[in-house]
């Protein structure tokens, strides 16, 4: 997104190396991301799950890292650990959408496969319901 992408060249039979069997469309640079280091988004994600107190093994595994030594050899991520991470990230997302409103739309260089405005309104409604105290 930061640099755009050239349309990939289709490969032809007998054409040797180069090209691809599944050509992909190109897209322009997304101005909002131009010059930014998008890998830092992963670092923000790690900070969130660290803040929420998740297991080091679960966090590093989610980041695609391997832990050295005995800890890395004998530690595994359980479904309960994954569900805990999903729950805390979902809570962060719902806190965001409630404050952003139902008409918030991110920019996208290509049309999206879903009606994003309808989807976002559903997300806001779900977050409002889950943030309503029970018994009131």
Residues 43-58 have pLDDT tens digits of: 778 889 999 999 999 9
Mean pLDDT of the chain: 81
Integer Cα distance of 107 and 59 in angstroms: 29
Q: How far is CA 25 from CA 9, 16, 20, 51, in A?
A: 9, 21, 12, 38
Q: What is the pLDDT of residues 40-99, one digit of tens each?
A: 777 778 889 999 999 999 999 888 888 888 888 888 999 999 999 999 999 998 888 888
Element (H, E) at 84: helix 79-100
């Amino acid at each position: 997104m930061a640099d755009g992408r050239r349309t990939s060249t289709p490969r032809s039979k007998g054409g040797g190396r180069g090209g691809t069997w599944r050509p992909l469309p190109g897209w322009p640079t997304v101005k909002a991301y131009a010059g930014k280091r998008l890998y830092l988004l992963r670092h923000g994600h790690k900070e969130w799950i660290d803040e929420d107190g998740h297991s080091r093994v679960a966090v590093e595994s989610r980041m695609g890292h391997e832990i050295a030594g005995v800890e890395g050899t004998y530690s595994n991520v359980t479904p309960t650990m994954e569900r805990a991470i999903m729950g805390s990230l979902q809570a962060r997302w719902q806190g965001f959408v409630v404050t952003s409103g139902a008409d918030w739309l991110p920019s996208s260089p290509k049309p999206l496969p879903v009606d994003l405005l309808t989807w976002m309104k559903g997300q806001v409604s779900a977050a409002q319901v889950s943030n309503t105290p029970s018994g009131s």
